[in-house]
Amino acid sequence: MTTTDRVVIVGAGLGGLYAALSLAPRPVLVISPETLGEGASSAWAQGGVAAAMGAGDSAEAHASDTIAAGAGTVDAKIAALVTQAARGHIHNLTAQGMPFDRDAAGEYTLNHEAAHSRPRVVRVKGDQAGRKIMETLIAAVRAAPSVQVMERVVAQGLLVEGGRVCGVELAQIDGEGISRSVALRAPAVLLAGGGSGGLYALTTNPPRIRGQVMGLAARAGAVMADMEFVQFHPTAMDVGLDPAPLATEALRGEGARLVNADGVFFMEAEHPRADLAPRDIVARAVFAQTQAGKRPMLDTRAALGAAIHDRFPAVSAACRKAGIDPAHAPIPVAAAAHYHMGGVATDAAGRASLPGLWVCGEAASTGLHGANRLASNGVLEALVFAQRAAQDMAAELPAGGDRAAPVTLAFAPGGVGLDMRAVAKLRQVMTAHVGVRRTGTGLAQALTEIDALEAAHTDCADFANMCATARLIATAALLRRESRGAHWRDDFPLTDPDLAQRSTLTLAEARLFPLETA
């Protein structure tokens, strides 16, 4: 057992790095499963940061769109708090050197994404916002003497004593293998380790983001919230790649349209806002087209032509890799797991139910997103709650930890790594039964299969964490006997006004759920 005075931050995406900088000069240890900058969902965020920066826009209008998209379960106080903080964070990032797009008058150039009532997404060169924010934060972290980064290390569990989180269990990734875990005691832990998209066979998330961080909090006893609400992005490129590259919603904001193999612009019949309808509605329409064998595609030709290559470089590069020229042919698309509205339940300061534990970013469920996240609110929420959690930790922790020595850990070989066949099976189960459209029978089947997979791999902590998250999603989906936002039940297709509340669930409760009552 090693002890440190450093705050331990699990995850090195936008939330983790922003929190590390916000805590300076208090020493922190950032745990990164990859080389810093690689493998974080944040770097793949194409749209940008939602913020009311445009003339005539307001935080109130932004909050109102957030609440409307969230389908009845957004916490209005959190929506107000986050949207009001947005402008300050854009200015802060700009001061740190973020090259946000500006017009000739110096005003921020804004993307228009689905369910926003106006263009409101602050961007960098079309689709480069996530990548550039990460580059900016990484440069700042590398220059910050208070931040120690441990790369190629993963958190596998939390240390809990007397109900309080007092550290983490860490293991080192070593080539294809993994070390035995070591315990590190710390005054506070911030989880900022991303969502659960990679629990699904079709996802836009980086390969290592498979619900592990939510799962380790759940296994320690943290209360989880809104676990049933998984957002599927309607325009993941369906080109046989895992993960599926994203074709940003901003393309539809520029006039790109969804079309099927028969040449039908199918969103017109689905919603008054057609291609810019709320994301859950577009995702289900795309899924239905795929299921019907109609081959949905995103046609950017009339809207952007060859300009797509310059204006949306990430999309252009992904198309090139898949052998498609979007200036001449539409891009095949499918609905893919993209963002988890649920996660570890937190309060407005980012505190989890377990003392000593804070959570920010996609791993958290703050109440901002409700049943369906408004586009580009994810990056904004990560910024706002990383800072709020940092401030709250600084207020709670005793002063005087600013001389903490760098942490060194002795990792011994011989840990139990993931069985990738079991991971593949779990992902298939989630996509088949816990995906865009769900039924009670399918969800119960998923839980039976998760039981079997978990029982066959009890020695691998990473897999136990994944199974915990998968179980919580499937159980929460089974318990919500209605359709709302991103959660669709074929056997309960209506939205029940009496169920317009957030859900909470612990892993112990999920384990006790009697399947025969499903």
Q: Which residues are catalytic?
A: 279
Interface with ligand SIN includes 47 (CB under 6 A)? yes
Cβ of residue 378: shortest distance to ligand SIN, in angstroms? 5
Interface with ligand SIN includes 248 (CB under 6 A)? yes
CB-count exposure of residue 90 (10 Å: 0-12, 13-18, 19+):
buried
Cβ of residue 339: shortest distance to ligand SIN, in angstroms? 6
Binding mask 366-395 for ligand SIN (x = CB under 6 A): ---------xx-x-----------------
Cβ of residue 271: shortest distance to ligand SIN, in angstroms? 17
List helix spans (H) across 434-506. Answer: 440-455, 461-479
Tokens 């089974």 map to which residue? 478
Cβ of residue 463: shortest distance to ligand SIN, in angstroms? 27
Structure tokens at 39: 């493998």
Q: Which is nearer to ligand SIN, 251 or 344 (CB)?
A: 251
Of 22, 32, 46, 136, the residue at the interface with ligand SIN (CB under 6 A) is 46
Binding mask 314-343 for ligand SIN (x = CB under 6 A): ------------------------xx----
Strands of the sheet with 28-32, listed across from one edge: 147-151, 28-32, 7-10, 189-191, 357-359
Q: Which is nearer to ligand SIN, 171 or 256 (CB)?
A: 256
Interface with ligand SIN includes 205 (CB under 6 A)? no
Interface with ligand SIN includes 15 (CB under 6 A)? no
Structure tokens at 234: 């309607």
Cross-strand pairs, 177: 174
Cβ of residue 46: shortest distance to ligand SIN, in angstroms? 4
Q: Which is nearer to ligand SIN, 248 or 300 (CB)?
A: 248
Residue nearest ligand SIN, CB atom distance: 47
Q: Which is nearer to ligand SIN, 136 or 204 (CB)?
A: 204
Structure tokens at 231: 């957002």
Q: Which is nearer to ligand SIN, 179 or 248 (CB)?
A: 248
CB-count exposure of residue 186 (10 Å: 0-12, 13-18, 19+):
buried
What value, to the nearest 5°, has the Cα angle with vertex 345 and ends 343 and 347? 135
Cβ of residue 280: shortest distance to ligand SIN, in angstroms? 12
DSSP annotation string for 45-112: --S-EE---STT--HHHHHHHHHHHTTT---HHHHHHHHHHHHHHHHHHHHTT----B-TTSPBPEE-
Interface with ligand SIN includes 209 (CB under 6 A)? no
Number of residues located near ligand SIN, criterion CB under 6 A: 10
Q: Which is nearer to ligand SIN, 65 or 392 (CB)?
A: 65
Interface with ligand SIN includes 473 (CB under 6 A)? no
Using CB under 6 A, which of the segments 246-254, 309-317, 492-500, 502-510 binds ligand SIN? 246-254
CA dihedral 94, 100, 103, 109 (to 10 degrees): -110
Q: Is the peptide bond before 25 cis (omega within 30 degrees of 0)?
A: yes
Structure tokens at 263: 């040449």
d(CA 434, CA 489): 10
List helix spans (H) across 340-459. Answer: 377-396, 420-433, 440-455
Comparing C-alpha atoms, which of 514, 415, 472, 33 is closest to residue 219? 472
Q: Which is nearer to ligand SIN, 59 or 250 (CB)?
A: 250
Comparing C-alpha atoms, which of 233, 240, 229, 227 is closest to residue 204? 233
d(CA 515, CA 301): 49
Cβ of residue 299: shortest distance to ligand SIN, in angstroms? 16
Interface with ligand SIN includes 249 (CB under 6 A)? yes
Cβ of residue 193: shortest distance to ligand SIN, in angstroms? 18
Q: Which is nearer to ligand SIN, 109 or 376 (CB)?
A: 376
Footprint of ligand SIN on this chain (CB under 6 A)?
46-47, 248-250, 338-339, 375-376, 378
